[in-house]
Amino acid sequence: MTDLKQLYDAIVAGDAKTARATTEQALKDGIEPLKLVMDHMAPAMGEVGRRFECNDYFVPELLLSARAMKSAMELLRPLLVASGAQPLARVAIGTVKGDLHDIGKNLVAAMLEGGGFEVIDLGVNVAPEQFVNTVREKNANVVALSALLTTTMPSMKTTIDALNQAGLRQQVKVIIGGAPITQKYADEIGADGYSDNAAEAVSLTKRCLGK
Ligand code: B12
């Protein structure tokens, strides 16, 4: 029988190979995919976030854990979809138009996935219309925008404006982040939430949704 503490430990340690192998073995042993995510992987990402907040972990450790989480999730995602497990909410995430930085965005996506959200990752250089279409077609409840360049920050406002124009703004929460972003900027452009780190993205999103 798989020792599931190994899965938890592998994600916290950023050991992608062990995380994937343990997940594979656990599935062979008949353990429910949702149980693996909720009871072992999400708490592991929670621990990673906690260590980051206390400065025990830094960005490189966060990246390794995110990669371990991602490699285990690759095995579980199709099974979760097939089992119809209900995610907390659906988040469409992307780096805004004109911007190719995705390290922070990927971390936020991994933390959200680890926190029980379904994440639709639209990648980088995402035009406002792509966010609008995703909210419309996939019923996303949250739009998460990342920008690393001062020159691409205005794309966040353009995206919020596009959601407004499409009549979709009331049905989604918009959260934003990235090195040049501040709470003041989030307030100015009418975003629902801002965080300066990936670890806080889960609690921020839950708070925005009133969960
Ligand atoms: C790596 C990097 C690159 C890589 C990107 C690789 C990749 N796949 O992402 C490459 C080399 C491609 C690159 C290119 C460029 N870059 Co660059 N890059 C960086 C660098 C060194 C690190 C960024 C990073 O990954 N940080 C680590 C991550 C983890 O941090 P983060 O992104 O801030 O994310 C955290 C939080 O902000 C938050 N967060 C992020 N997004 C979100 C979203 C939500 C919803 C939430 C809640 C939170 C959140 O959580 C994350 C984790 O805690 C920064 C310098 C710096 N110190 O920031 C410059 C920097 C951002 N780049 C810069 C520039 C100028 C460029 C270029 C224009 C250079 C050029 N002349 O070509 C191009 C632009 C290309 C483009 N169109 O986007 C400038 C921007 C200056 C400015 N004021 O706008 C910086 C600041 C460097 C500098 N000091 O001049 N870059």
Residue-wise pLDDT tens digits, 91-135: 999 999 999 998 889 889 988 888 889 999 999 999 999 999 999
Span from the CA of 47 to the centroid of ligand 1 (angstroms): 25
* Class level of CATH domain 1-86: mainly alpha
Nearest CA to ligand 1 atom 48: 177
What is the Cα gyration radius of the chain?
Answer: 17
The size of the chain, in residues, is: 211
pLDDT of 51 above 90: yes
What is the number of the ligand 1 atom nearest to the C-alpha of 93? 45
Please tell me the predicted confidence (pLDDT) of residue 7.
96
CATH, range 87-211: 3.40.50.280
pLDDT tens, position by position, 53-96: 899 999 999 899 989 998 998 898 888 777 767 889 999 999 99
pLDDT tens, position by position, 8-32: 999 999 999 999 999 999 999 999 9
d(CA 200, CA 50) in angstroms, rounded, equals 9
Average pLDDT on 153-181 reads: 98
Q: Which of 95, 146, 148, 209 to mutate to test the pocket of ligand 1 (most atoms within 8 A of CB)?
A: 148
Query: Is residue 90 classed as helix, strand or coil in its secondary structure?
Result: strand
> Could you give phi then psi for residue 56, rounded to 5 degrees?
-85, -30
pLDDT of 38 above 90: no
pTM of the model: 0.85
Name every protein residue with a CB atom under 6 angstroms from any ligand 1 atom.
59, 98-105, 107-108, 144-146, 148-151, 175-180, 195-198, 201, 204
CA distances from 180 to 12, 111, 176, 205 (A): 28, 21, 11, 20
Q: Where are the domains of the chain?
A: 1-86, 87-211
What is the number of the ligand 1 atom nearest to the C-alpha of 105? 41
What is the number of the ligand 1 atom nearest to the C-alpha of 180? 83
